[in-house]
Structure formats: C-alpha cells, structure tokens
C-alpha cells in the first residue's frame, strides 16, 4: 500500500470526493474527451470563457476539446418522470487562463442532479458541496445566494438591459456606492434602489441575514424566492452545518442560465473560489428539456498551492557507485535502504541540484557514509 503523503492535494481531493458522492448514490459519469463544437456555439454564454480548442473529426464534423462538463451531461441524459438522475464526474476541461491568455488543462470534479428536483435535492447538493469543501480543508465557507431574489430586485428597478448589467456587476463587487451612483444618474425609483443597496450590504450567517431579508422582500415574487431560500436554510440549520454557511448575494451568476439557489465555496489560503454551482433550470429549458437541474464543480487546479510546504530533501539517500561495483551489490544495498522505508537514488556521481539527507558510497569494502545532513 502506498502512503497518501505521496499524493498531491488535488489527487487526494479526487479520491475523497469520489467516495463522498458515491455514498449518496451518485454514479460516475464518464464521457468522451471531445464534444461536437455545435453544442458550445449554441450555449456560448454558459461557458466561463468563449474560446474553445476545435479540430475536425474523421467524419468531417467540427469537434472541440471540452471546455465544460455540465453541457455534455445535460445533453446525454433524458427526462424521466418522477426520477432524479444523480451523477458525478472527474474530467479535464480546456479553458483560457485569464492571466496567460492561453489554453490550460484544468482538472474538475463535480456532480449534477437532473430531473424533477425538489427542496430535498437542493439541500442534498448543498450539503455535498459543504462536505466536498470539508474534505479539502477544515476552514471553509459556503456562500449561498438566490437568483430569484436578485433578479426580482433588479426587475423592480425597471431599468434597461445595459443598466441592469452594470447593477449586477456592482452586486458582484459589493459596490454599494456604485449602485447609488447608477440609480442617481438614471433617475431610478428610490425605494427599489434603496433595497438593492440594502441587499448588497446584507451578508453573513443565516440567522443574521434572513431577518434582514424579510424587511426588504415585500413583493410576491421576492416573498416566494425568500420562502424557498428559508426552507433550504432551515434544512441546513437542522443538519448542523449553518456555521459554515454564509448568505451572500455577491455570488449571483448569470441569470440567463441559473435560477433559484446558487452557491460558491471558499477554503482558507486559496485566493479564489474553489467550488461553484447552482440550479440551472433555465439552461435545461434552453436545451429543450422539461426537467430542472442543480449541480456544482470543484476546481481542483486551485488546490495546487494549498498548504504547500517546501521539501527539505528531494531524496533520503544518494548511493554512489563506480565501475568496479557489481550490479548485484548495488541492488542489495538499494533493497536494504528501501526496506527501511527511506527512498534512495543510485548514481555514479551526485546529480546537480539534488538535495539529499545522506550521501553513501559503495566501495570494495562495503558502504561508506560520505555526508550526513540530518
């Protein structure tokens, strides 16, 4: 058996997450590396980045290296009345990095729950999102938002699309003064603007935020969205994970695809979100489907630098031998060292830039210690 210390953070996470998802009846969903490009052209706005690596398949069809997994899963599942399909995946996706403006391969794990989803399904996915974060780090936060509340508040302002987009940006930035300025410039209704500003300033633990929301959710649309959010929150509180949950509307994502609950996960010492998901009935509708869906993805590449410690040595022992050493003697010494649990590198001379704990030399008489760095 190997030691789990050999595994990188992202590899450990893959194992841990797989076991969590299987425990709750999610089945693995393995898909082809390629997908017809057409799927992404039709749903371009759903993708994190517009650019896709394409090539022509053997039958002349334009194919793409997958930039996203959800679209493929939705495409490959069917509506079955009264059932919910629960799948998880672990796939590489190809996206343009915003910093290098070049394609990168990103390892992504996640799950999708597709069908007639109810409050239990939503709660289960949120709970699994929290468990996924917990498997990565003890110190985590799951932010929860409801698109229904954000979109109803923006609708109440009654602005044009461009202004609406600018307001959504400000909500994402927690930029209260930005919203105030837009509202003043565009002469938008004062009461609706005041509520928007209050919405941006309302975040934190469930117990604190829900009463604050009650005060600003006064239309039927808002009340109905808030009531769903409350139901979900009650389930989260009952399961004892409310300490790790924040309600925060700054994570509201694309309203064309998402509706209902959206969420984002953070772990301490990783500067970006490591998990992102939500209910995407609107995407399902756009893809001609009757059922609803909710799911999330864990961005494993973000874990690379988590708790990274500099290794003091590359190898425990470097064993130097010369042309007179017999291969069987070298093999015997190497075996002896590895059987103690240490690792060893047999070389004729010490390679440059290798840091070792101990330097041994095999000579006619046996093994001689040349250097000990302990």
The window from 32-40, 116-124, 215-223, 266-274 that contacts another protein (CB under 8 A) reads 266-274
Which string of DSSP letters, residue by residue, matches 175-241?
Answer: -HHHHHHHHHHTT--HHHHHHHHHHHT-EEEHHHHHHHHHHH--SHHHHHHHHHHHHHHHHHHHTT-
| Residue 154 near residue 169, CB atoms below 8 Å | no
| Binder of another protein out of 5, 100, 272, 339 (CB under 8 A) | 272
| Binder of another protein out of 141, 217, 334, 362 (CB under 8 A) | 141
Binding mask 240-259 for another protein (x = CB under 8 A): ------x---x---------
Rule CB under 8 A: say whether 273 interacts with another protein: yes
| Binder of another protein out of 17, 111, 136, 270 (CB under 8 A) | 270
Retrieve residue 53's tokens: 């690596």
> From CA 300, how far away is CA 303, in angstroms rounded?
6
What are the percentages of helix, strand and coil residues in the chain, rounded to 5? 40, 25, 30
Count of residues touching another protein (by CB under 8 A): 18
Rule CB under 8 A: say whether 349 interacts with another protein: no
The window from 4-12, 72-80, 270-278, 365-373 that contacts another protein (CB under 8 A) reads 270-278
Task: State which residue, 167 or 346, has the beta carbon closest to another protein.
Answer: 167
Rule CB under 8 A: say whether 271 interacts with another protein: yes
Query: Which residue's structure tokens are 């000990």?
Result: 372
* 3-state secondary structure (DSSP) of residue 123: helix
> From CA 125, how far away is CA 111, in angstroms rounded?
8
| Binder of another protein out of 14, 92, 103, 178 (CB under 8 A) | 178
* Residues between 19 and 48 with contacts to another protein, criterion CB under 8 A: none
Task: State which residue, 123 or 203, has the beta carbon closest to another protein.
Answer: 203
The window from 80-88, 123-131, 149-157, 172-180 that contacts another protein (CB under 8 A) reads 172-180
The values of phi and psi at residue 298, to 5°, are -110, 125
CB of 141 to another protein, least distance (A): 4
Which string of DSSP letters, residue by residue, matches 45-80?
Answer: GGSSSS---EEE-TTS-EEEE-S-SHHHHHHT----
Binding mask 198-227 for another protein (x = CB under 8 A): ------x-----------------------
Q: How far is CA 204 from the centre of its chain?
A: 21
The window from 11-19, 28-36, 136-144, 306-314 that contacts another protein (CB under 8 A) reads 136-144
- Sign, CA dihedral 102-103-108-113, equals positive
| Residue 231 near residue 261, CB atoms below 8 Å | no
The window from 121-129, 174-182, 221-229, 360-368 that contacts another protein (CB under 8 A) reads 174-182
| Binder of another protein out of 38, 50, 119, 173 (CB under 8 A) | 173
Q: Give how far Cα 366 sits from Cα of 89, 184, 326, Å.
A: 53, 86, 11
The window from 9-17, 122-130, 171-179, 211-219 that contacts another protein (CB under 8 A) reads 171-179
Which string of DSSP letters, residue by residue, matches 253-278?
Answer: --TTT-EEEEEEEEETT-SS-SEEEE
CB of 296 to another protein, least distance (A): 17
| Chain positions contacting another protein, by CB under 8 A | 139, 141, 143, 173-175, 177-178, 204, 246, 250, 266, 268-273
């Amino acid at each position: 058996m190997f030691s789990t210390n050999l595994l990188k953070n992202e590899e450990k996470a893959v194992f841990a997450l797989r076991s969590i998802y299987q425990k709750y009846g999610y089945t693995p969903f393995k898909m082809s590396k390629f997908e017809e490009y057409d799927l992404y052209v039709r749903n371009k706005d759903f993708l994190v980045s517009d650019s896709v690596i394409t090539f022509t398949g053997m039958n002349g069809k334009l194919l793409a290296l997958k930039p996203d997994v959800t679209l493929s899963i939705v495409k490959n599942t069917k509506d079955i009345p009264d059932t919910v399909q629960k799948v998880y995946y672990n796939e590489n996706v190809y996206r343009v990095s915003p910093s290098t403006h070049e394609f990168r391969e990103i390892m992504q794990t996640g799950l999708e729950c597709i069908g007639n989803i109810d409050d239990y399904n939503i709660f289960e996915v949120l709970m699994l999102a929290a468990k996924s974060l917990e498997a990565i780090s003890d110190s985590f936060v799951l932010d929860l938002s409801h698109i229904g509340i954000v979109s109803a508040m923006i609708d109440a302002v009654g602005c044009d699309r461009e202004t609406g987009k600018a307001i959504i940006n400000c909500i994402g930035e927690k930029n209260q003064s930005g919203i105030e300025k837009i509202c003043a410039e565009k002469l938008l209704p004062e009461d609706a603007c005041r509520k928007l500003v209050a919405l941006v300033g309302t975040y934190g633990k469930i117990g604190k935020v829900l009463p604050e929301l009650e005060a600003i959710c006064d239309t039927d649309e808002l009340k109905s969205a808030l009531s769903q959010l409350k139901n979900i929150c009650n389930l989260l509180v009952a399961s004892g994970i409310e300490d790790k949950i924040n309600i925060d509307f700054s994570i509201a994502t694309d309203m064309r695809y998402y509706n209902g609950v959206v969420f984002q996960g953070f772990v301490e010492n990783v500067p970006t979100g490591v998990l992102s998901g939500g209910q995407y009935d609107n995407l399902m509708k756009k893809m001609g489907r009757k059922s609803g869906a909710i799911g999330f993805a864990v961005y494993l590449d973000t874990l690379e630098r988590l708790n990274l410690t500099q290794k003091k040595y590359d190898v425990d022992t470097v064993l130097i031998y010369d042309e007179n050493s017999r291969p069987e003697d070298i093999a015997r010494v190497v075996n002896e060292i590895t059987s103690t649990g240490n690792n060893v590198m047999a070389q004729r001379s010490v390679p440059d830039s290798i840091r070792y704990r101990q330097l041994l030399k095999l000579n006619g008489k046996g093994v001689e210690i040349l250097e000990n760095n302990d």
